[in-house]
Chains A and B, each alone.
Chain A
Amino acid sequence: QVQLQESGPGLVRPSETLSLTCTVSGGSISVYHWSWIRQSPGRGLEWIGYTYHSGSTNYNPSLKSRVTISVDTPKNQFSLKLSSVTAADTAVYYCARTRVGWETVYFFDYWGQGAQVTVSS
Chain B
Amino acid sequence: EIVLTQSPGTLSLSPGERATLSCRASQSVSNNHLAWYQQKPGQAPRLLIYGVSTRATGIPDRFSGSGSGTDFTLTISRPEPEDFAVYFCQHYDYSPSFGQGTRLDIK
Contact = CB atoms under 8 A, between A and B. Distances in A.
A51 to B, nearest CB: 15
Interface of chain B, main secondary structure? loop
A17 B94 CA distance: 25
Given A61-B95, A107-B35, A112 B50 contact: no
Interface centre among A103, A106, A107, A114 (most CB of B within 10 A): A107
Nearest to A47: B96
Contacts of A34: none
B93 A104 contact: yes
Nearest to B99: A44
B98 A107 contact: no
Nearest to A35: B96
A109 B56 contact: yes
Contact of A104 (B33, B37, B56): B33
Interface in B71-99: 88, 90, 92-99
B95 A109 contact: no
Contacts of A105: 92-96
A60 interface: yes
Contact of B92 (A58, A96, A107, A113): A107
Interface stretch (B9-17, B20-28, B39-47): B39-47
B57 to A, nearest CB: 8
Contacts of A106: 33, 35, 50, 92
A49 B65 CA distance: 26
Given A106-B50, A108-B47, 20 more contacts: A45-B90, A45-B98, A46-B98, A58-B94, A60-B95, A61-B95, A94-B44, A105-B94, A105-B95, A106-B33, A106-B35, A107-B50, A108-B37, A108-B45, A108-B90, A109-B47, A111-B44, A111-B45, A111-B46, A114-B44
